[in-house]
């Protein structure tokens, strides 16, 4: 059989969330074939199929704007987590 998954992650280490990064991985048979990284600001393909799709997605301004906006959603959610977890005594 085949295995497909998509992992979307928000990663940060600072309390002020200034270093937050949004990563959107597309995975087929345990290998990432395309990835959006908010630090890079566009899709990067890691296989022939991934490069082809990255080119399509990067030429679609709607898709790119949507992915770039995910950083703000990450910040909102991370701020809630920070308040819930670290600000309690």
Q: In the chain, how many domains are there?
A: 1
Q: In the predicted model, what is the mean pLDDT of residues 57-84?
A: 93
Structural domain harbouring 54: 4-87
> What CA–CA distance (Å, rounded) separates 23 from 67?
9
Q: State the residue for tokens 């200034």.
A: 18
Sign (positive/negative) of CA torsion 53, 38, 76, 69? negative
Query: What is the pLDDT, as a whole number, of residue 85?
Result: 80
Helices assigned H by DSSP within the chain: 48-58, 61-85
The two beta strands, 31-37 and 42-45, are antiparallel
Given a cut of 80, is residue 86 above it in pLDDT?
Answer: no
Given a cut of 80, is residue 81 above it in pLDDT?
Answer: yes
Confidence class of residue 15 from pLDDT cuts 50, 70 and 90? confident
Per DSSP, 7 falls in state E
Q: Are 26 and 50 in contact (CB under 8 A)?
A: yes
Query: What is the pLDDT, as a whole number, of residue 19?
Result: 94
Question: What is the per-residue pLDDT across 16-66, written as a single tens digit (0 to 9) for each?
Answer: 899 999 999 999 999 999 999 999 999 999 999 999 999 999 999 999 999
């Amino acid at each position: 059989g085949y295995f497909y998954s998509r992992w979307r992650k928000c990663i940060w280490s600072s309390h002020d969330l200034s270093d937050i990064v949004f990563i959107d991985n597309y995975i087929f048979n345990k290998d990432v074939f395309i990835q959006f990284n908010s630090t890079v600001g566009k899709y990067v393909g890691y296989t022939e199929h991934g490069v082809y799709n990255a080119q399509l997605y990067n030429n679609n301004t709607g898709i790119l704007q949507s992915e770039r906006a995910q950083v703000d959603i990450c910040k909102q959610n991370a701020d809630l987590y920070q308040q819930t977890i670290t600000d309690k005594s």
